[in-house]
């Protein structure tokens, strides 16, 4: 299937990055959000990011012009023209089910409906639509313009044709698609979040200071940043949410969130976005 027009839902951290990369790869792009402030912020972020990439020589002025041509919308009216809809709204199952019902009603019958969810079952999301064969996970990494990986997640009913089309779109965007089956946390968060959670257990039990824990993983394991620094970047609420999904859906105690992680989220210490997490910002 040929994809020409991509409609991105959600203009936040991930949505604006996805819209940017899709546009600079030559797709016609519409980026939609219910919050006008998010659309304004996305416009500014994309303008700044593409200007920087042109300066560095990794983007041509023509590619920047394509990003400048992204259409921003506060509703789903133009979704009917899209071949692919990528949902990157807030990580909340009820919200995603509601959005997917609406996507299914508004998008063309042959359009593919993708979600950037980090932890919600693709099969469950697909079940609220009448086209589970055309629903798929496209899990981009943050920051989208810089990170190579897209985890491509097949739900139970996702067709081979849909998967192949999405693999081709990812490659066209200059990304490296890696296929995973639908399972809690997929591959990325099944491995990453328990590692971060274990680092929080080590801190809570006094095995080391935050700096020591991060230094061991950076210098000893060649990780580009330590797990607690990474947790602050991702958001401690997001890490906690993923651990709760893993514990509930895989039913194993080894995924129980560290008490300190929960306490920090309760206190509003969410990491960089709140100015305080394991470190102060
Ligand atoms: N942040 C990350 O590092 C990361 C990485 C991979 C995947 N994800 C996933 O990407 C998705 C988006 O995460 P984010 O970090 O960009 O969140 P974010 O909070 O930065 O942005 C979410 C946006 O969705 C908008 N939104 C809420 N309801 C909407 C609706 N009904 N219609 C349209 N827009 C709506 C909000 O206004 C907000 O601008 C989530 O599913 C998340 O799990 C996030």
We report the CATH number of the domain holding residue 237 as 1.10.1040.10
**Model pTM score:** 0.94
Residue 117 Cα to ligand 1 middle (Å): 8
Q: Is 139 a catalytic residue?
A: yes
Query: Active-site residue 151, yes or no?
Result: yes
Atom number in ligand 1 closest to CA 142: 3
- The 8-class DSSP code of residue 176 comes to E
* Same domain (yes/no): 76, 40: yes
Same domain, 67 and 156: yes
Atom of ligand 1 nearest to the CA of 115: 41
Give the distance from CA 91 to its chain's centroid: 9
Using the 3D structure, point to which of 123, 148, 181 is the last residue of a domain: 181
Please, are residues 106 and 76 in contact by the beta-carbon 8 Å criterion? yes
Amino acid 23: pLDDT: 98
pLDDT computed for residue 18 by the predictor: 98
Question: Does 279 reside within a domain?
Answer: no
220 CA → ligand 1 middle, Å: 34
Site residues for ligand 1, CB cut-off 6 Å: 9-15, 32-35, 38, 88-91, 95, 99, 116-118, 139, 142, 234
- My answer on whether 75 and 159 are in the same domain is yes
Give 138 Cα–ligand 1 centroid separation in angstroms: 13
State which of 128, 153, 181 marks the end of a domain: 181
Q: Which of 7, 8, 11, 13 to mutate to test the pocket of ligand 1 (most atoms within 8 A of CB)?
A: 13
65 and 177 share one domain: yes
Query: Are both 210 and 109 inside the same structural domain?
Result: no
Q: What are phi and psi of 225, to 5 degrees?
A: -145, 155
Point out the domain boundary residue: 159, 181, 203: 181
**60-63, long-range: CB < 8 A, 24+ apart:** 63/24
Q: Do 198 and 242 belong together in one domain?
A: yes
Question: Could you tell me if 212 and 154 lie in one domain?
Answer: no
- Residue 42 Cα: closest atom of ligand 1: 39
Helix (H, G, I), strand (E, B) or coil at 150: strand
Is residue 40 annotated as a catalytic residue, yes or no? no
Query: Where does 86-209 have alpha helices with state H?
Result: 93-106, 122-127, 160-172, 188-204
147: CATH? 3.40.50.720
251: left (phi over 0), alpha (psi -120 to 50) or beta: left
Cβ neighbours of residue 267 closer than 8 Å, sequence gap 6 or more: none
Residue 75 annotated among the catalytic residues of the structure: no
**Pair (175, 45) in one structural domain:** yes
Per-residue pLDDT at 149: 98
Q: 263 lies in a domain?
A: yes
Query: DSSP secondary-structure letter at 280?
Result: B
- 74 Cα to the center of ligand 1, angstroms: 15
Asked if residue 229 belongs to a domain, the reply is yes
Kindly state whether residues 48 and 168 are assigned to the same domain.
yes
Question: Would you state the structure tokens that stand for residue 94, as one six-digit string?
Answer: 């009820």
- Give residue 120 CA to ligand 1 midpoint distance, Å: 13
Q: Report d(CA 255, CA 239) in Å as an integer.
A: 12
Q: Does residue 99 fall inside a structural domain?
A: yes
**Distance (Å, rounded) from C-alpha 115 to C-alpha 128?**
13
Domain count, the chain: 2
Expressed as residue numbers, the domain containing 208 is 189-273
Q: Are residues 11 and 150 in the same domain?
A: yes
Task: Indicate which residue of 66, 116, 189, 197 is catalytic.
Answer: 189
- Same-domain pairing of 177 and 197: no
**Model pLDDT, residue 31:** 98
Together in a domain, 89 and 172: yes
Which residues does the chain have with pLDDT short of 50? Answer: none
| Per annotation, catalytic residue among 25, 139, 188, 197 | 139
Contact 223, 215 (CB under 8 A): no
Q: So what's the pLDDT on residue 122?
A: 97
Does residue 122 fall inside a structural domain? Answer: yes
Q: How far apart are CA 121 and CA 166, in angstroms?
A: 18
Beta-carbon contacts of 222 under 8 Å, excluding residues fewer than 6 positions away, are: none
Q: Is residue 281 part of a domain?
A: no
């Amino acid at each position: 299937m040929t994809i020409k027009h991509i409609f991105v839902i959600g203009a936040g951290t991930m949505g604006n990055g996805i819209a940017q990369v899709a546009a600079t790869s030559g797709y016609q792009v519409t980026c939609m959000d219910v919050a006008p402030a998010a659309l304004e912020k996305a416009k500014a972020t994309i303008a700044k990011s593409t200007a920087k990439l042109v300066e560095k020589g990794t983007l041509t002025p023509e590619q920047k012009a394509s990003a400048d041509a992204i259409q921003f919308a506060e509703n789903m009216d133009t979704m009917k023209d899209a071949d692919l809809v990528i949902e990157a709204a807030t990580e909340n199952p009820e919200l995603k089910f509601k959005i997917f019902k609406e996507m299914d009603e508004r998008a063309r019958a042959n359009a593919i409906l993708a979600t950037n969810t980090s932890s919600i079952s693709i099969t469950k999301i697909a079940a609220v639509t009448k086209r589970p064969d055309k629903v798929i996970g496209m899990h981009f990494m943050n920051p989208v313009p810089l990170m190579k990986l897209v985890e491509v997640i097949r739900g139970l009913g996702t067709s081979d044709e849909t998967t192949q089309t999405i693999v081709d779109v990812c490659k066209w965007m200059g990304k490296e698609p890696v296929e995973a089956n639908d399972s809690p946390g997929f591959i990325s968060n099944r491995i990453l979040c328990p590692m971060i959670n274990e680092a929080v257990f080590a801190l809570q039990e006094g095995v080391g200071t935050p700096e020591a824990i991060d230094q061991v993983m950076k210098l000893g394991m060649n990780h580009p940043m330590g797990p607690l620094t990474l947790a602050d970047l991702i958001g401690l609420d997001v890490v906690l949410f993923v651990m709760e999904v893993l514990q509930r859906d895989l039913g194993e105690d080894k995924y129980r969130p560290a008490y300190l992680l929960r306490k920090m989220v309760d206190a509003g210490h969410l990491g960089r976005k709140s100015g305080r997490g394991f470190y102060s910002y």
